[in-house]
Amino acid sequence: MQVTRMAAPLGAIVEQLDVQDITAEQLSRVQQLFLEHKVLVFPDQNLTPEAHMAFAEHWGQLIPFPYGALPDYPNIIPLKNRGKSKDVNQHWHSDMTYSPMPPKLTMLYALEAPELGGETAFANQVLAYQSLSPGLRGLVDSLSAHHSAKGLARLYGQDPEQALEAVHPVARTHDETGEKALYVCGAFTRHFETWGRDDSKALLEYLFEHSVRPEFQARHRWRPGDLVMWDNRCLLHYAVHDHGDAPRLLHRLQVQGHVPA
């Protein structure tokens, strides 16, 4: 394997590795790199859905997504360019925070990618937490927040009253590294537990803005055959839709995580 850093805040590119033919020693190294860099990019892969799932299962049990999965592969969601107005991922978020046990990681595999644009941006929430003032960190440490998928359910024509909802700590402790990270996002976080929405609004908006400061960010420019995995426990991500109608098709799957602590 050849490993190079992706950007200063996060990420690494792992070249000269076929994830379908990975050895136990290589897998152990990749797992260490993942915890260290939080985003890993594996270029030049040639994966079937079965191979995609087999590699992801090294990290745990795959979980189905409640909206829009492939008919024959309930754990895989096709992310296809349907135009900017229909793109539901143009916001900073961590996947499925509205679940009581959100996914620990997400893997995207690129089948088609635009020549320019269509990048995915990431923001390191460990750095975001560490850069808060001591007083604000103390307040954040004491808070939990309510997350809801009601808005997402409406987009997919589902009953919002049946949508998943959960309460999670605002400062989440990573279950493997012990690092603390901010764990809120504008997509799904609605209010602080025991606080009203109006009371929560000012602090949440500050945290939303703070969490995606440029110095916490990195971007990945997609190419067909790219496999990218990232840590949902300590990152936010954003699908940048600046590629018009150019084809972009990614397959997404996720690995089951633990209850955030």
**Chain Cα centroid distance, residue 137:** 23
pTM of the prediction? 0.93
d(CA 11, CA 230): 9
Asked, for residue 36, whether it belongs to a domain, the answer is yes
Predicted local distance difference test score (pLDDT) of residue 69: 82
Name residue 25's amino acid. Answer: E
**Average pLDDT in the chain:** 93
Residue 99 has pLDDT above 70, yes or no: yes
Identify the band that residue 172 occupies on the pLDDT scale cut at 50, 70 and 90. very high
Residue 153 has pLDDT above 70, yes or no: no
Asked, for residue 105, whether it belongs to a domain, the answer is yes
Residue 157 has pLDDT above 90, yes or no: no
Predicted local distance difference test score (pLDDT) of residue 100: 95
Residues 6+ away with beta carbon under 8 Å from 100:
164, 166, 259
Asked, for residue 108, whether it belongs to a domain, the answer is yes
Give me the mean pLDDT over the 158-180 stretch: 92
Token representation of residue 172: 């989440």
Give me the mean pLDDT over the 157-171 stretch: 87
d(CA 196, CA 238): 27
- Which carries the bigger pLDDT value, residue 176 or residue 86? 176
Please choose, from the candidates 42, 33, 36, the residue with its C-alpha nearest in 3D space to the C-alpha of residue 15. Answer: 42
Residue 160 has pLDDT above 90, yes or no: no
Predicted local distance difference test score (pLDDT) of residue 236: 98
Asked, for residue 182, whether it belongs to a domain, the answer is yes
Give me the mean pLDDT over the 3-26 stretch: 98
Asked, for residue 260, whether it belongs to a domain, the answer is no
Give the tens place of pLDDT for each residue, 188-206. Answer: 999 999 999 999 999 999 9
Give the tens place of pLDDT for each residue, 38-85. Answer: 999 999 999 999 999 999 999 999 998 766 788 889 999 999 887 665
Identify the band that residue 21 occupies on the pLDDT scale cut at 50, 70 and 90. very high
d(CA 17, CA 13): 11
- Give me the number of domains the chain comprises: 1
Q: Which of 25-29, 80-84, 255-259 has the lowest mean pLDDT?
A: 80-84
Q: Which of 77-91, 131-145, 204-218, 221-235 has the lowest mean pLDDT?
A: 77-91
Asked, for residue 134, whether it belongs to a domain, the answer is yes
CATH code for the domain in which residue 222 is found:
3.60.130.10
Predicted local distance difference test score (pLDDT) of residue 17: 98
Angle at 134 between CA 133 and CA 140, to 5 degrees: 85
Asked, for residue 261, whether it belongs to a domain, the answer is no
Predicted local distance difference test score (pLDDT) of residue 158: 73
Strands annotated E in the chain: 2-5, 12-15, 39-42, 77-80, 105-112, 120-124, 144-148, 165-169, 171-173, 180-182, 189-192, 217-220, 227-231, 235-239, 249-255
* 63 and 254 Cβ atoms separated by less than 8 Å: yes
Domain extent, residue 28, equals 2-255
